[in-house]
Amino acid sequence: MHLDKQFVLDELKKEGQSEKVQHALDELPDKIDHEQHAALLTKLGLDPGKLVQKAAERGIAGL
C-alpha cells in the first residue's frame, strides 16, 4: 500500500517526533510503499503496519 509523504510527516509530528521530520523530508519519496520503505519508516520511529491501519481508517491510502 502506498502512503502520502504528508501523512507520514503528520504522524511524526503527532507522535512528538518533530526532530525526525527533516530527515523524513530528505529521505522519503512523495509516495511511500509501506513494505519497500519499512526499514526507513522504522528508523524514523514509525510502525509501517500501524501507519497503513491509520491510513485505511481515514480512507487516505492508495493501493
> Residue 59 — very low, low, confident or very high, per pLDDT cuts 50/70/90?
confident
Cβ-based neighbours of 42, under 8 Å, separated by 6 or more: 48
**Residue 33, pLDDT score:** 94
pTM for this model (two decimals): 0.84
pLDDT tens-digit map of 2-50? 999 999 999 999 988 888 999 999 999 999 999 999 999 999 999 999 9
> Residue 60 — very low, low, confident or very high, per pLDDT cuts 50/70/90?
low
**Per the structure block, which three cell numbers stand in for 2?**
502506498
Per the CB < 8 A criterion, the answer to whether 48 and 24 are in contact is no
Per the CB < 8 A criterion, the answer to whether 55 and 6 are in contact is no
DSSP-derived secondary structure letter, 1: -
